[in-house]
Amino acid sequence: MALLAVAALLLFTPVLDDSLEVQADPAAGYEEALRRADTLRSADGPEVADECRSRIDVQGERTAHAVVLLHGYTNCPAQFAAIADAYAAQGWSVVVPRLPGHGEADRMTRALSDISPGALVDAAEEATDIAAGLGEEVTVVGLSGGGTLTAWLASERDDVAEAVLIAPLVAPKVLPEFTVGPVSRAFRFTPDVYLWWDGEKKESLAEPPYAYPRYSLRSLGAFLAVGRAAQQPPGRTTTLGRLVVVTNENDAAVNNAGVDRVAAALTVPGVDREDLVFPAALGWRHDLVDPQGENADVLPEIYARIGPLLGLDGLSSPS
C-alpha cells in the first residue's frame, strides 16, 4: 500500500516534472543575431535531411517584424516552407529552427529517444533570441508540438508580442485526459517504445515524405511536460499583445480540451484573443500547414482562412 501511495504521489503530482526556467538571452543587435543564426544552421550535421535544416531568412537589416515558426512533432522545418516564404516576401525576418531529434534523413532514426523537455524549450528560446535581434517585434507561430512550445514561450517571455497556436499538442487523443500527466511522467523512466502513426502503412507512410512515420513515447512525454508547464500562471511581466488559437473539430491527434486549457492560461486581462475553429464536417486532418502533408489537396482553402490571422492575406500553397 505504501508503494502504491508513493507511486501515485510521483505520477499524479508535479514532483517528477522538470523545472523549465526561462533563459531569455535575446541577441543584442542585428549582427549578433546573424552570428547566432550561423551557429544554429551549423548545428545541422550530415545526418539531417536537406529540406529539414534550420532556416533563417533575413532582409539585410533589422526589420519591424520577425517571426519564429515552430514545426510539429516528428516533422521538420519543411512543414512551414510556404508560410516562411510568404513572411519573407512580406519583408519579415524569419526563423524556422529544427527541433531536437527531428529532421534526420533516416526516417527510422531513434533520435527522438534523446529528447527532454529542457532541450525543447532551449531550442525554442534560442530561435526567439535570434528573432529578437532580427526584428523589433516577435511573433511565434507553432503547430502541434511546436504549438505547445509556442504556448510556453508566450507564457514566459516578455519579448513575444504575438502567439499563434495551431492545434497544440497538450493532450493527445490516444490518452484519456486524466492519464496524460501520470502516463507521460512514467514514459521518462521506462524503456522507450516506438509506435507507428499508421499501423498499415508503417515505414511507407510518406505524407509528408520528410516526417517520421513513427513516434516515441518518451519524446511524446517531453512535449506533454512542456504543455503542463504552459498551463501554469504566466511568468512574463508584460501582457501578451495578441493570441490566436486555431482548432479543428476533426483533429484525430490532439484533444481540443487540452488546447482550451492552455489557451485559457494565456488569456489574461488585456490579451487580444482570436479563435478559429474548423468544423468537423470539413473532414480536415491534424496538419493544417504542410505543403506536402495530409491536407495538401485542400491547403489553398485552409490557407485562405488562416492567412489573415497570420497577417498573410496573400498566403497560398505551392502549385
Which whole-number Å values give the CA distances from 123 to 53, 202, 241, in the listed order? 14, 29, 23
Is 194 part of a structural domain of the chain? yes
pLDDT at 11 over 70: no
The pLDDT, as a whole number, for residue 25 is 94
Instruction: Give the residue-averaged pLDDT of 109-130.
Output: 97
Average pLDDT value for the chain: 92
pLDDT at 10 over 80: no
Is 316 part of a structural domain of the chain? no
pTM recorded for the entire structure = 0.93
Among 151, 145, 78, 140, CA closest to 115 = 145
The pLDDT, as a whole number, for residue 12 is 43
Which whole-number Å values give the CA distances from 279 to 51, 87, 169, 259, in the listed order? 32, 27, 19, 16
Is 109 part of a structural domain of the chain? yes
Dump pLDDT digits (tens) for 169-228. 999 988 887 888 888 888 888 899 999 999 999 999 999 999 999 999 999 999 999 999
The pLDDT, as a whole number, for residue 18 is 60
pLDDT at 286 over 90: yes
Residues 6+ apart with CB under 8 A from 29: 62, 133
Is 318 part of a structural domain of the chain? no
Instruction: Give the residue-averaged pLDDT of 255-276.
Output: 95
Q: pLDDT higher for 30 or 14?
A: 30
What CATH number should be reported for the domain holding residue 249? 3.40.50.1820
Whether the Cβ atoms of residue 116 and residue 192 lie closer than 8 Å to each other: no
Is 233 part of a structural domain of the chain? yes
Is 315 part of a structural domain of the chain? no
Instruction: Give the residue-averaged pLDDT of 25-47.
Output: 97
| Number of domains, the chain | 1
The pLDDT, as a whole number, for residue 265 is 95
The pLDDT, as a whole number, for residue 189 is 82
pLDDT at 247 over 50: yes
Q: Cell numbers at residue 106, please? A: 533516416
Is 317 part of a structural domain of the chain? no
The pLDDT, as a whole number, for residue 15 is 42
Instruction: Give the residue-averaged pLDDT of 150-167.
Output: 97
d(CA 61, CA 255): 41
Parent domain of 191 = 2-310
The pLDDT, as a whole number, for residue 175 is 80
Is 319 part of a structural domain of the chain? no
Which segment of 69-73, 272-276, 315-319 scores lowest on mean pLDDT?
A: 315-319
Q: How far apart are the first and last CA of the chain?
A: 62
Which segment of 15-24, 40-49, 254-263 scores lowest on mean pLDDT?
A: 15-24
The pLDDT, as a whole number, for residue 315 is 85
